[in-house]
Amino acid sequence: MADYLIGDVQGCYDSLQSLLKKINFSLDKDQLFFLGDVINRGDKSLETLAFIKAHTDNTSMVLGNHDFHLLACAFGTITPNKKDTFTDILQANNSTELLEFLLQQPLIIKHKEVFMVHAGIPPNWNDSIAVSQAKQVEQYLQSQDVGHFLTQMYDNNPRTWHKDLDKLEQCRYTVNALMRMRFCQADGKLEFKHKMNFDSAPRGYQAWFDHKERLLKNTDIFFGHWSTLKHVDRAHIYPMDHGCVWGGALSAIRLSDKKVFSVSC
């Protein structure tokens, strides 16, 4: 029995199958946890999502910004852009079931005392704030109001979070932080322009995991999203997007011993 946590697949279904072969994935024994962005940019978004949905006894996932973007295009008023490659899902015979399945997925998974999230957790959030903020977004996604909700999530503001913000503002911050964040300030103020290595942080900002007083610094956090990060020498910090869709690698980390398995893409 093993738990494997897998970085951003982004529709690279063939690489996913090679990786599963490499870890000798067994439906009888193993659990797969996908760290978000399972679809988009790659050529087999439909196959990837269908695979996860077909094996829910063995699979779990958190939502990434690309998964969220598909939902906003399907249920909200957002239109796909030229680089989006998920029309195969929108046009599939079972499109409704696949999209409804995606709406049921969480923003955070807490499993055996570790956190899984697509981008990261703000330095000023503790365990209970992170879990409750994620839950608030999940409740909107599972409500009748989902289309209206998704359309209102496309904005970079508010940059900081406070419990007295109105609910939709809190959700917008949460979506941006948990699914898009790379650099922020100690108070969780977000920055969206820089995508490069964490050692070239924009002035006044640091990688979200590099703040000294970060509240979850003693908790293992596994995440994707930041494909240029690869390896950082930080305790409890596990970046798992190894750039599969950009010709890098697709990787899985085994939770029990933190051994990493990769296939080149």
65 binds Mn ion (CB under 5 A): yes
- As measured in angstroms, the least distance from the Cβ of 137 to Mn ion is 16
Closer residue to Mn ion (CB): 25 or 134 = 134
The distance from CA 253 to its chain's CA centroid, rounded to whole angstroms, is 15
Closer residue to Mn ion (CB): 58 or 60 = 60
DSSP 243: B
Subset of 25-54 contacting Mn ion (CB under 5 A): 37
Contact map string, positions 75 to 114, toward Mn ion, x by CB under 5 A: ----------------------------------------
- As measured in angstroms, the least distance from the Cβ of 97 to Mn ion is 24
Distance CA 84, CA 117 (A): 22
- 130, 69, 61, 223 alpha-carbon torsion, rounded to 10°: -60
How many residues sit close enough to Mn ion to count as binding (CB under 5 A)? 4
Element (H or E) spanning 114, and its range?
strand 114-117
Closer residue to Mn ion (CB): 225 or 242 = 225
Among 64, 106, 122, 243, binds Mn ion (CB under 5 A): 64
138 binds Mn ion (CB under 5 A): no
Closer residue to Mn ion (CB): 180 or 236 = 180
Closest residue to Mn ion: CB criterion:
225
Distance CA 215, CA 126 (A): 5
Distance CA 141, CA 68 (A): 10
H helical segments located in the chain: 13-22, 45-54, 65-75, 87-90, 95-103, 127-141, 146-151, 167-180
Contact map string, positions 198 to 237, toward Mn ion, x by CB under 5 A: ---------------------------x------------
Q: What 3-state DSSP class applies to 2?
A: strand
Closer residue to Mn ion (CB): 25 or 207 = 207
Distant-in-sequence, close-in-space partners of 216: CB < 8 Å, separation ≥ 6: 115, 121, 125, 126, 127, 130
DSSP 147: H
- As measured in angstroms, the least distance from the Cβ of 128 to Mn ion is 25
Closer residue to Mn ion (CB): 25 or 174 = 174
| Binding interface with Mn ion (CB under 5 A) | 37, 64-65, 225
